[in-house]
Structure formats: structure tokens, C-alpha cells
Amino acid sequence: MADNIPGSRKTSTPALVPSTLGIVCVDFDGTLVDSQHPTDQSVHPSLVRLIERLRSEGVLWVINTGRTLEGLKIGLEIAALPFTPDYVITEETSLLVPAPDHPDGWDTHGDWNLQRDLAFRSLLAESGHVFEEIRTFVTRQTQARYLARTDGTGGLDEIIAASEAEMERICHRIEEVRRAHGADPLGYQRNTIYLRFGHRGFQKGSTLARLGTSLGIPAERIFAAGDNLNDLPMLDPEVAGWLACPGNSHPLVRETVQRHGGYTARSHTGEGLTEALRFFGFGG
Ligand SMILES: [Mg+2]
């Protein structure tokens, strides 16, 4: 089927016109930049030009990443973008807006982060025994590192596995423990050998959706793109009407984007995003 071929053109023409685009939201590592590249972690020039033009037309530019704010700032500095994002989502759940007077240069947007912290704390209080059971398994039966973050502010415990195969085994165990305890709100975001526990109600998708709601921009006016498993919650038609992934994406991400009628680019990272935006008619 042509739609399953990376970079293939869909037969139907997108119904929306460029002026309806409200938000371009992209993941950072592996989507905006090739963070594994030894020397070049810049944003592809074609994408820089395109985003600059879209921003001049009022489209908001949002980065949605698993990085911490400090980590993202470093990445942005290396990427040497000529403009600051209008909003960023860090650690998949922290919604921030530029604030030149703030010591960090960024401030929280609305009460989403507060809601998340409260949800995390109540999850910790209710599911401490579940975390403990998983922690015992990880420390005794795997080579992975278990990083405990006790107060829940900004994030929950993390695991760094020795290999992707080991992370598969850990995820399998987490699912077993979750099922045994009925710990429904307990979720996690996994990216290769990294895993961060979270609350099912707070991930890249729900955070982007909240941003859209707060700005009066509905899902059908949002473009979202990502390359890895932690991007799946935002690669959802309920969150964004325009979905895309670069050519270097995880197979499950490609499959998800195709299933939702999105665009899987042939080119990698930023160049792939330009390809996708042009396909949807936003290329000018
Ligand atoms: Mg990524």
C-alpha cells in the first residue's frame, strides 16, 4: 500500500489551508536535531526559514521534549536557532513560556504544572508500594540503574537500562506489577534505554492539548512531530490534526503516524519536518 511507504504521498489532498495552522509542536532530539551526530547538531536551514516565515504569520512554535529545561537550553544554544520557541514543554509535562525577567528565563504557563505536581504527589502517596516492588526488581535482577526522585516535584523515578533488551524486560515487569496492583494512573514514558515514571494523565500529548486549550487553538490547527516512543501520546488525532515523523523514527512511531493518516518523511530530523510541512501545504 502506497501509504505505508516512507515519504509516500497520500492520495487525498489535505483539506486545511496554511492560514489555519496555529501551533507547530516538535520533539527536540532526533526530530528537530540529530543529537547523536558527533559534530552537527544544528537545525536544517530549510526548516529554520520555514519556521521563521510561519511565525511571521502568527503560527506558534513549540518544542516538546523529555529534556529538562537546563538540558533544552544547552541543546538550543548548540542548535543556534535565530529565534526562541514561543512555548516549551520540558520533561514531557512542564509547560513553560519565555519570561525574560525570570531567573531561568522561563516561567510556568497557567496552572498545568501545579496540577501535575499534585497528581504526582498523590500517585506517590497511593502507589509507593508499587514503586518499591519495581525498584526491588530493577536493583536485584537487572544491570539497570534506578534513580529515585522522592518528592514528585517536576518528575518521578527514572530507570536507565544497560540495553534496549533489558528495558523491554523491565517494561514487561512494570506491566505485570501494575496489573497486579491495579495502579491505573501510574504510567511511564520510555525512550530507548531510558524510562521515566509518570501519571497517565500527564505526558507530551495531554500537555500539548492543555496548551492548545489555554490558547483557544483546537487540535485540528496543531501540527505535531516526533521520532520516538515518548512522542506517541502527542501523535494522536485527538491532540493534533497534522501528524508527522522524520525518516529516522522508531518503527512504532512510523506505524502510528501512518495509521492516523499522518506523514512519514523520507528525510531525517529537521529536513524531514520541512518535507512534512511542505506536504501539508505549509511550505510556502
Ligand atoms: Mg526524540
Q: Would you state the pLDDT for residue 16?
A: 47
**How far does the centroid of ligand 1 lie from the alpha carbon of residue 96, in Å?**
19
- CATH 3.40.50.1000 range(s) for the chain read 20-92+203-279
Q: 109: Cβ–Cβ under 8 A, 6 or more apart, which residues? A: 87, 95, 96, 97, 211, 214
What pLDDT was estimated at residue 152? 55
Tens digit of each residue's pLDDT (9 = 90 or more) over 111-149: 999 999 999 888 888 888 999 999 999 999 999 999 987
Residue 5 is predicted with a pLDDT of: 43
Distance 129 CA to ligand 1 centre (A): 31
CA of 228 to the centre of ligand 1 (A): 5
Distance 260 CA to ligand 1 centre (A): 19
Higher pLDDT, 221 or 39: 221
Query: Can you give the pLDDT at residue 1?
Result: 37
Calculate how far, in angstroms, residue 35's C-alpha sits from the geometric centre of ligand 1.
9
* Lowest-confidence region among 56-70, 90-104, 181-195: 181-195
Q: Can you give the three-state secondary structure of 148-213, one letter per residue?
A: CCCCCCCCCCEEECCCHHHHHHHHHHHHHHHHHHCCCCEEEEEECCEEEEEECCECHHHHHHHHHH
Question: Residue 284: is its pLDDT beyond 90?
Answer: no
When pLDDT is averaged across residues 67-74 and rounded to a whole number, the result is: 94
Whether 13 shows a pLDDT value over 50: the answer reads no
CA of 119 from ligand 1 middle (Å) equals 25
User: Is pLDDT above 80 for 183?
Assistant: no
Cross-strand bridge partners of residue 24: 61, 223
Distance 169 CA to ligand 1 centre (A): 22
Of 268, 267, 227, nearest to 65 (Cα)?
227
**Would you state the pLDDT for residue 6?**
44
Q: How remote is the CA of residue 15 from the centroid of ligand 1, in Å?
A: 28
Give pLDDT tens digits for 71-81.
999 999 999 89
Q: What was the pLDDT predicted at 12?
A: 46
Given CATH 3.40.50.1000, say whether it is the number of domain 20-92+203-279.
yes
At the top level of CATH, the class of 113-199 is alpha beta
* Centroid of ligand 1 to alpha carbon of 277 (angstroms): 18
Judged against a pLDDT cut of 60, whether residue 3 lies above it is answered with no
pLDDT at residue 279 is higher than 70: yes
* Interior/surface letters 38-68, b for 16+ CB within 10 angstroms, e for the rest: eeebbbbebbbebbeebeeeebbbbbbbbbe
The mean pLDDT of 31-51, rounded to a whole number, is 91
Question: CATH 3.30.70 in the chain, residues?
Answer: 113-199
Direct distance between the N- and C-terminal alpha carbons of the chain, in angstroms, rounded to an integer: 29
